[in-house]
Amino acid sequence: MSTYTIKRILLLVLQAWLTVSALFVVFRLAPGDPAVLIAGPGATQAQIDLIRHQLRLDRPLAVQYIAFVRDTLRGDLGISLSFRRPVLSVIASRIPPTLALLATSLGLAVILGVPSGVVAAVRPLSLVSQATMGLTVLFLSVPNFLLGLLLMDLLAVRLRWLPAAGTGGPIFLVMPTIAIAARLLALVARTTRASVLEILGEDYIRTARAKGLSGSTILVRHALKPAMIPIVTMIGLQGGYLLGGSIVIETLFSYQGLGQAMINAVSMRDYFLVQGIALFYVAGFLLINLLVDLSYALFDPRIRYV
Amino acid sequence: MLSLTRGSVMYRQFRRIARVPAAGLGGVLVAGFLMVGLLAPWVVPLDPFVQDLSTALHPPSPSHWFGTDELGRDLLSRVILAARVDLTVVALGIGSAILLATPLGLIAGYFRGLADRLVTAASDLMLTFPSLVLAIVLVSLLGSGISSVVIAVALTTAPPLYRLIRSLVLQIASLDYVEAARALGATHFRIITRHIFPNLLGRTVVYTTLLGSHAILSVTALGFLGLGVQPPTPEWGNMLVSARTYLGTAPWLTVFPGLMIILFILGLNLFGDALRDLLDPKLLWRP
């Protein structure tokens, strides 16, 4: 493992510690007493005091903080009040559906976005390219939940091709995937077009052409590979959108993932579950950025982290 | 500063931009929404809150141009009032973010040192939260409602804005004319307000329109999730919640609020692109 990789992973550990601390600060110092929130409306003062004692909220902040970090490291995120199970086990059951949704969305965006971006760069004046680029502007202006609603109206309610909502086989993934992927697809296509256009003007492309390589070899081997760097960077920047999108879209389609659990937890005032899921979303975002940083060396041989 | 007299550079720039149809469309859309938002109470055809169950779920007609919702309220009036609500929330949120990020960015970028490192670390930390996750956490702790949404928009908008302003200050502060001003004995305050601030304004304004389209996405998403502006106050996002129930039977409930969101974001995006071209000195002398 290179020094860069080790340094980058150490940075991740630092970031993780800081975000755990930030969550502690946000959840403990926000106005409103968590014990009151958890006890719910109509609880007596004695019940609130009991909860406050059980949660160590009557102890000094420093003691609470150390206990919070220690528990988090052990994987003890508290008990979910609505599921009456440990938060971690609730989250564990919700992660696979969400990962599946994120993977299909990202996959769709890349598989359709990269080729259409390349076509738009190579044949900028063709009707197909112009139409694709026009469509990306529209995709960037439609919120994912609105697209989801329209898909649901068309494909589930009117045409009855797909189930309107729920979790299960791959068929339940179709509409949520399209709804999340649309914006990402537009961004991937635009970024691909811009960076391929730029690279096609480079000297080494002329060299490759001069030594007689075919157009497609040049495009794939010499142009597309370095063009992946801005694309991957863009995907990293959109990681937050991807994760946030899963929350909205899972809720819309009643898809039993992490995001839907988070919204339920908020409405059930399930304090620890909200906190735990927030922690996992932030961790996911940090991980996406780690992978993006580490992937740069894959795409451009000139980048070597020593 | 900006002279718009005939024949001036800026005037020619405006002419050039105005000729691009997309840019003109963006400006018209944004201005239109601002007008509707400002004048909403006077231009609504009917009271957006009056229920009349005998006319519930009527399709668009001459008496109700956009149709009626499940409680018989006039959809056009609700969409117009929602424009006012959404624009107010976004304006207040982004306004607070600007008030927070500008002084911090100017001070951190100009003086550097410990204050810079602390504020930058705090802003980086906030950027590790996906913005919608941060907004949901904040709203779950503060309770749903307009003020929570404004706070969520402000706190998710301020960090990227701070980063942009700080990086622009770092660039500008190393330029010769700032050095010259310093050599002439200008105070730090004068350098920051007279030499640095005016020069970062253009890029910041462009970036703010982009953040505006992100903010409207967050506000409507929160509304749609039931965590944002609460009914009966109409908001484009929360109007779509009931639209979901009547998908097959009353598509106008989805179409009109949805169209407003799309047009507003489209307008902001096109307007932002046009502004960027207008303020980009590299494009200044092109025919």
Provide the number of CB pairs (under 8 Å) joining chain A to chain B: 126
Q: Give me chain B's average pLDDT, please.
A: 86
Q: Which of A149, A250, A255, A273 is the best mutation test for B, with the most CBs of B within 10 A?
A: A149
pLDDT of residue A306: 43
- Residue B68 φ/ψ, nearest 5 degrees: -125, 160
Specify the CATH architecture of the domain B2-44+64-284: Orthogonal Bundle (1.10)
User: Does pLDDT of B219 surpass 50?
Assistant: yes
Which residues of B have a CB under 8 Å from any CB of A?
121, 125-126, 128-133, 136-143, 213, 217, 220-221, 224-227, 237, 240, 243-244, 247-248, 251, 254, 258, 261-263, 265-266, 269
Other C-beta atoms closer than 10 Å to the C-beta of B80 total 22
Q: CA dist A38 to A27, A49, A268, Å?
A: 13, 11, 10
**In whole angstroms, what is the distance from residue B101 CA to residue B207 CA?**
13
- Per CB-CB distance under 8 Å, the chain B contacts of A22 are 125-126, 129
Question: What distances in angstroms separate CA A18 from CA A279, A283, B99, one per listed residue?
Answer: 11, 11, 26
For an interface test with B, the pick among A29, A33, A141, A243 (most B C-beta atoms closer than 10 Å) comes out as A141
Q: Single out the residue of A68, A62, A57 nearest to residue A24, CA to CA.
A: A68
Neighbours of A294 (CB within 10 A): 15
pTM: 0.87
* Residues in chain A, pLDDT under 50: 306
Query: Which of A153, A247, A282 comes nearest B129 by C-beta?
Result: A282
Interface predicted TM-score (ipTM) over 0.90: no
Phi, psi of A85 (to 5 degrees): -135, 165
**Residues 6+ positions from B36 with CB-CB distance below 8 Å:** B43, B80, B83, B84
Q: What residue in B sits closest to A278 (Cα-Cα)?
A: B133
**Cβ atoms of residues B257 and B79 within 8 Å:** yes
pLDDT for residue A182 = 93
Are B225 and A247 a contacting pair at CB < 8 A? Answer: yes
SS3 at position A80:
strand
Q: Are A282 and A288 in contact (CB under 8 A)?
A: no
Q: Which residue in A has a C-alpha nearest to residue B236's C-alpha?
A: A146
What pLDDT is stored for residue B258 in this prediction?
A: 93
In chain A, what residues touch B251 (CB-CB under 8 Å)?
Answer: 153
Top pLDDT among B146 and A216 is at B146
Contact A274, B137 (CB under 8 A): yes
Say whether B133 and A247 touch across the interface (CB within 8 A): yes
- Hey, is A71 helix, strand or coil? helix
Residue B190 has pLDDT above 90, yes or no: yes
**Does the pLDDT of residue B51 top 60, yes or no?**
yes
Region of residue A209 (left: phi > 0; alpha: psi -120 to 50; beta: else): alpha
CA–chain centroid gap for B213, Å, is 5
Give the Cα separation of A35 and A54 in Å (integer): 10
Task: Please identify among residues 155-174 of chain A the ones whose CB lies closer than 8 Å to any CB of chain B.
Answer: 157-158
User: CA B103, CA A305: separation in Å to the nearest integer?
Assistant: 36
Rg (CA), chain B: 22
Choose the weakest-confidence range: A25-29, B106-110, B206-210.
Answer: A25-29
Closest CA to A37 of A62, A57, A63: A57
Please state, in angstroms and rounded to a whole number, the distance separating the CA atoms of residues B55 and B215: 35
- Mean pLDDT to the nearest integer, B190-216: 90
* Chain A residues close to B244, C-beta within 8 Å: 149, 152, 252
Is pLDDT of B285 > 50? no
Q: Is A149 on the interface with B (CB under 8 A)?
A: yes
Cα separation, B129 vs A247, in Å, equals 14
> Could you give the angle at the alpha carbon of A146 between the alpha carbons of A144 and A151, nearest 5°?
95
Task: Please name the member of A150, A281, A282 whose beta carbon is closest to the beta carbon of B254.
Answer: A150
A182 SS3 class: helix
Structure tokens at A239: 């990681």
